Structure 1
Amino acid sequence: MKKAIVLSLALTLALGMTGCAKTENAPAAESSVETVSEASSEAAEETTTEAAEETSTAAAEEASKSEGVLNYEEYMAAELDSEVVVETYVQAKQSWWEDKATVYTQDQDGAYFVYNMACSEEDYEKLVPGTKIKVTGYKSEWSGEVEITDATFEIVEGDTYLAPVKDVTAMLGTDELIDYQNQYVAFKGMTVEAAGQDESGNDVAYLYNWDGSGTDGDDLYFSVSLNGETYSFVVESYLCDNTTDVYAAVKNLQIGDVIDMEGYLYWYEGVNPHIISVTAAK
């Protein structure tokens, strides 16, 4: 009888404890579901917010362009000799002569070489690096170099932009390189080769003009190699004259030197960068 009573009490106690356990665990389960639900909701809100911000930014960039202005993709798709209008940023000035200016420009998507643009000497002084300009001219090509010619411009007040340098060393010898035409680029770890010979028949590291016909103050041509291929680079004297550090650096090159360079990815019958910096390879 006692065993029966004890057993009965034990069963009653066990059932009571089981009920408590379920009651105590239930709120925890609900809390977990609520936490997951809240986290999912927050993640969804963040994703929606980020997407909205990206859309808003893209829309703002498009809205910032004046009516009729081409973006870089549209500019590249335009037919040669057609009129084009772009908004871009001055990166460097090559020259001014008789109210004509030649400038290197670039935006966040690509670069535009503007050749002999109508420009007063007074306005030329205003074209400091970073200045935004609206250029109207004609898309042209000369020996592979795509450029804007017969252009006029106006300065656009507001934001400025200086392009970061793009390392294109690995793209040398590939079809991909031309996609960066006229951009501010870097070449690293290239070896100086003989550019030609002097009057005594000795190999030299550079030439005045492409054929050695020039004198100090003219363009400096030099050759550099990578992976068995040799390329001709130039210090354009209108851009960097014989008083600049880069002009002096090239004149001090020795065949076999390994160097890093920066410049603008100009094209003439193939890649022919206008170099603005030469240093020993790091």
Structure 2
Amino acid sequence: MKKFVSLLLALMLVIACVGCGGKNESVPAEEAVANEQSDEGTQDAAEPEAGANEETEAAADEETTAPETEADADTATDDVKSEGVMTYEEYVAAELDTEVVVETYVQAKQSWWEDKATVYSQDKDGGYFLYNMACSEEDYEKLAVGTKIKVTGYKAEWSGEVEIIDATFEIEEGSYVAEAEDVTAILGADELIDHQNKFVAFKGMTVEASQDADGNDVAFLYNWDGSGQDGDDLYFNVSLDGSTYTFTVESYLCDNTTDVYKAVKELNIGDQIDMEGFLYWYEGVNPHITSVIVK
């Protein structure tokens, strides 16, 4: 009996020890789970900091890439003249028949013949009409609209049109295409001539009658007196505020295949029109028109 009791007590002791051992082994597992959850929480907490760093870096990039200032934009559009080249103001002040040197930009080509070119040109301050400038046919093809050229020639005047004659030129780096400046409000004013040879616009003008060789009222004439035919210059009268002006489609500049030539041939007396062209002068204002829109 005592042996049985002793064995029973020994067995209970063994069972108790096994139970304690199992409990001790479960503690590290629970701690591992807790540690793993803690690590995940740490990673989650770190992610916003990474995003914040990215935003900080982006902000730093924006600060180092500053937008172009107004001063930079103005500098980019400055028309700085080379050494020995006149400003437009100096060109205007120069005496007739004296040598002039200008830098200007091709706005349109009127004609080329026997190594001479006639060109409408302009810088950011004013226009220059280059008449019969020495130019090979090969170089004439290079004179695209906007091309910058340095011109050396002589200032001259013909029937009120100030131009540069006996000129030579060289092509330079740079490009500029002028927008049409609206001069409608100063038609008939003394200040209009200050814009001579510029690319300009006229708006809201009315087509007036011209008289052909037979005395008929017509909207346009071939040549100034109606003596021409299709392909010759077109002359037409337009009015504003009671004053009438004669405008021209110069056939060397815009021949009878161009839109403006066709548009003028389709005008009717009384039409309201907007126009663009070059402010040429011949015994008074006589613009060379390159665009007509009937309103």
TM range (shorter): 0.7 to 0.9
Instruction: Specify the alignment match of 2:264 in structure 1.
Output: 250
Shift of 1:75: 0.2
Question: For residues 185-236 of structure 1, what are the alpha-carbon distances to aligned partners after superposition, in whole Å with 9 as ceiling and x for unaligned?
Answer: 000010001121353x320111111011111100000000001100000000
Normalising by the residue count of structure 1, what TM-score does the alignment of the two structures yield?
Answer: 0.77
| In 1: Cα distance, 2:85 partner to 2:176 partner | 18
1:164 corresponds, among 179, 183, 186, to 179
**1:193 and 2:205 equivalent?**
no
Post-superposition offset of 1:65: 2.2
Spell out the pairing of 1:154-233 with structure 2 (5 A cutoff).
Answer: 154-157=170-173, 159-199=174-214, 201-233=215-247
Alpha-carbon distance between aligned partners in 1 of 2:282 and 2:81, rounded to the nearest angstrom: 31
1:118 maps to 134
- Higher Cα Rg: structure 1 or 2? 2
Q: % of aligned pairs identical?
A: 77
* Post-superposition offset of 1:142: 0.5
Structure 2, unmatched stretches of 5+, are: 1-68
Letter in 2 for 1:140: A
What is the CA–CA distance in structure 1 between the aligned matches of 2:201 and 2:105, rounded to whole Å?
19
Considering only aligned residues, what root-mean-square deviation do their CA atoms show, in Å?
1.7
Q: Runs ≥4 in structure 1, deviation > 6 angstroms?
A: none
The residue matched to 1:255 in structure 2 has which SS?
A: coil
Are 1:239 and 2:253 counterparts? yes
- How many residue pairs match? The answer is 226
Aligned mates of 1:144, 1:198 — CA distance in 2: 27
The CA distance in 2 between the partners of 1:245 and 1:197, in whole Å, is 23
- For residues 119-165 of structure 1, what are the alpha-carbon distances to aligned partners after superposition, in whole Å with 9 as ceiling and x for unaligned? 000000000000000000000001110000000000002x2000111
| In structure 2, distance between residues paired with 1:273 and 1:77 | 23
The 8 Å contact of residues 191 and 257 in structure 1, kept in 2 or not, is answered as yes
Mapped to 2, the partners of 1:203 and 1:197 lie a distance apart of 7
CA shift, 1:280, in A, is 1.2
Question: Which of 279, 282, 285 is 1:265 aligned to?
Answer: 279
Quote the residue 2:103 is aligned against.
Answer: 87
TM-score by length of 2: 0.74
Give structure 1 stretches of 5+ with no counterpart.
Answer: 1-48
On the 8 A contact 2:145/2:177 being kept in 1, the answer is yes
Aligned to 1:147: 163
The answer on whether the counterparts of 1:198 and 1:204 sit within 8 Å (CA) in structure 2 is: no
